[in-house]
Chains A and B, each alone.
Chain A
Amino acid sequence: MPFLLDDDHRQIVQEAERVLSDGWSPDGLRHLLERVGAHDDRFWTTCRDMGWTGITISEDHGGLGLGPIALCLTAEVVGRFVGGAPFLSTGYGVSEALRRFGSNDQQGRYLAGLANGERTGAIDLTSALDGGERLAWTDGRLSGATGLVAAGAWADLLVTVARDTATGGDVLVLVALDEQAHPEPVQTFDNSRGYAVLHFNSAPAEVLATEHAGDAALELLARVAVIVAFEQLGGAEACMERARNFANERQAFGQPIGKFQAIKHRIAEMYVANELARGNALRAALSLRDDAGDLVLRAGAARLTAIDAYEFAATEAIQTHGAIGITWEHDLHLFFRRSRALALELGGRGPWQDVVARRVIAGVAA
């Protein structure tokens, strides 16, 4: 049963808020939007300096060993600022893959670099949702092209699921994105995420798991989805607060526009959607921490409500602001873009609805 934050958690949140409020604003993101394959290096440096890159990595490997809830809460704060570097969640996907499936040798080679942020990770696991096309894996070598991968333009390591051409089965692999991988940065509506298609032509790739590799990939994706649900929640909260503050300040027809129920009810609806998303996200976080419950199902519920909450808040915050909200100069379009980017990059509503439905239906006896 969930979950009240304790003092340690509150401290993590306060510290993250302090650092980001002092040193960073969404304003810096705007110029990244006009460059393909960009990311906010200054923001990433902050993440490294704060040790956020190693929150969940054990102290043996140079991390903080704080567990996933600390990372979830940090991601929520980052989401409030539309942080411009995807590695926090995608790198977690890679370090988790190593923690769960990596050999001692693999962990020794890669985790310390991920922990201090020298190495960055990306994941390409959405094919686990829908059985989509996979890369081909033959005798330790990877070929083919990924879909759009967040952070793909600069990541050092990629975890993906490929098809073993010998057996026809799935294999979870780790591939170093050195000169053997050819990232093709892709122009998107949220260029700050560094989306790229990665092309492999017989690039060496290490095996992480062959047994039930598809399930393993789905579970990894679900784990990242929980972290991202917090990031989405943070974004949704920020949009709600901006809408609320604007509605209190902006006068029209002789009164603050927040007096009009058409406005105030919309903002109250944002709160309701956010609370649903928060409840699900917290439950899923407990599943992450305890390796308990049906993680994929809980992550799915968290993801569906987080997608809904962020997109509603971002869209309706713009509407609340009126024309100022649709200008390039205003921050709201950064949230608006990000809400859709986060909804798509780990698999959208449709595939996640199907994952959730499949599990819920399986739980009801015929």
Chain B
Amino acid sequence: MSDAAQVLVNSLITGSIYLLAGTGLTLTYGLSRFPNFAFAEFLTFGAYIGYLTMQYPTGCLAIALVTAALATGLLSLAAYFTVFRPLINRRAALIPLMIASIGLGYVIRYSLGECWSWAALSYQQVWQTFTIGDTHITLLWLYLILAATATSIVLHLLFVFTRIGKAIRATAANPELAQASGINTERVTLFVWFVGGALAGVAGVFRAADTQLYPMLGWDILLPVFASVVLGGIGSFYGLLIAAAILGIAENFGIVVLQALGLSTEYRMAVAFLVLILVLIFRPRGLGR
């Protein structure tokens, strides 16, 4: 049964990435009411900033995470200021907003491809591996689980106890009413876009450190991240906590099933698609709403 333990560990790792990335996406999605497809490229951007930091002799994962979070948070703010806010102010409909986000994604992705070429890079760091029974777990994975847990706790405390957290919930629920009650909704929106971008940067660094780094990094996990967000209920952080776990487990157990059936493990993306379709048929509002 040690196989099952390893699959569970893998699920936890996958789920943690989806949780970190999905939190950033679901918060901005819930507040600004459109899916930002350029979010994939925010992940990739964070990963490359992390790579840049790790190139220096003093570079370590912690510094890479902090710089990637800050830089990607700023990128997200810049995207909001230059592209999305002007469009929203012009009362652009949902589909033009999505198209603009795809366009922005192309600008970022191909700029990264230009700077670092399209070949895969790696952080070139070997992580210490612990073995319990037959189950392997690396130090990086422990950091990732720690980061995901810490983020969840901090966000929970933020939403329940702080003024800004309550303002975010109020603005997401009803922007007009929130504004009428004296909440500076613009400032709330800026805060959420920054935090969303920062979380994307963190998720991107972990993904790149665990696998490889290439301009399609973010795009390649966008589908399961979107599936988690929709399953959790758009804008719902608590729903996402469960949804990311479900996606992580479904994908990793899906791989086992695929192997048993003699099918290509490339189909694991299809698992996320299946979850997405099932959610839309049976519970389109998601778990958390």
A, B from the same assembly: no
Q: B interface vs A, CB < 8 Å? A: none
